Amino acid sequence: MLGSDDVGSYRPNDEIDAVEWVPWKAAMTRLTYPHDRDTLAEARPLRRRTHAVVVLRHGKARSRGAWRKDDRLRPLVRLGEVQAERLVPLLAAFDVTAAHTSSSVRCVQTVRPYVDTTGWRAVRYDELTEEHASAEGVVELVDSLLHGSESVVLCTHRPVLPTVLDALGVPDVELEPGAMLVVHHRKGRVVATEVRQP
């Protein structure tokens, strides 16, 4: 099927009673016409698995202007905590198995519900903070993630996002707090992107 994976809005018609996603073997046994089975058999070797680098802007944090302490310690507000909780099923849907995050509190808090729920590891980087980000450090990290064999989330700050997106070779996008850009890649090559707003 071309287009969205969401088949929930499909309405039966004279030719097709229902649409549903089933495993390949089940589809092969359910197809009634030989030419449909031939088409499915021809398509199977063409399937290519992708991985995702989920670029995440941290959730809504306390106001910078009202915060008098070290900015790296500025926490999420309640809305940001809710956004972080809502990320759990989304990140799971993209099979994220590691969180790479700025060491700033607001970023760590954004990925914490996912890490706590799944048990996957979280790696903190000073190089992803606003204070210590450098193009070289970001490019090195992004390159390693893009050539890795797992789906990951990379959580950082608005001012660092353009450097991350440039390192990925994708157009700059404006992400609201708690929003993410999902970069689908295969063997280091970006094949698709999609934005998920909070």
Domain that holds residue 160: 51-196
Q: To which H or E segment does residue 151 belong? A: strand 151-156
Higher pLDDT, 2 or 119: 119
CA-based nearest residue to 115, from 160, 188, 173, 56: 56
24 found inside a domain: no
How far is it between the farthest Cα atoms of the chain? 71
CATH code (residue 125): 3.40.50.1240
2 found inside a domain: no
10 found inside a domain: no
pLDDT at 2 over 60: no
145 found inside a domain: yes
Residue 12 has a pLDDT of 77
Mean pLDDT, residues 6-26 taken together: 75
95 found inside a domain: yes
The count of domains in the chain is 1
Those residues whose C-beta lies under 8 Å from the C-beta of residue 152, and which sit 6 or more positions away, are 52, 53, 54, 96, 97, 98, 99, 100, 145
Lowest mean pLDDT across 20-29, 65-74, 95-104, 108-117:
20-29
128 found inside a domain: yes
Which structure tokens are listed for 152? Answer: 């990951």
What burial class does residue 83 get, using C-beta atoms within 10 Å of its C-beta: 0-12 exposed, 13-18 middle, 19+ buried?
Answer: buried
pLDDT at 15 over 90: no
39 found inside a domain: no
1 found inside a domain: no
* pLDDT tens digits, one per residue of 22-66: 787 888 898 888 988 888 888 776 556 889 999 999 999 999 998
* pLDDT tens digits, one per residue of 121-145: 999 999 999 999 999 999 999 999 9
Confidence of residue 84 (pLDDT cuts 50, 70, 90): very high
Which structure tokens are listed for 11? Answer: 């309405």
CA-based nearest residue to 99, from 34, 151, 163: 151
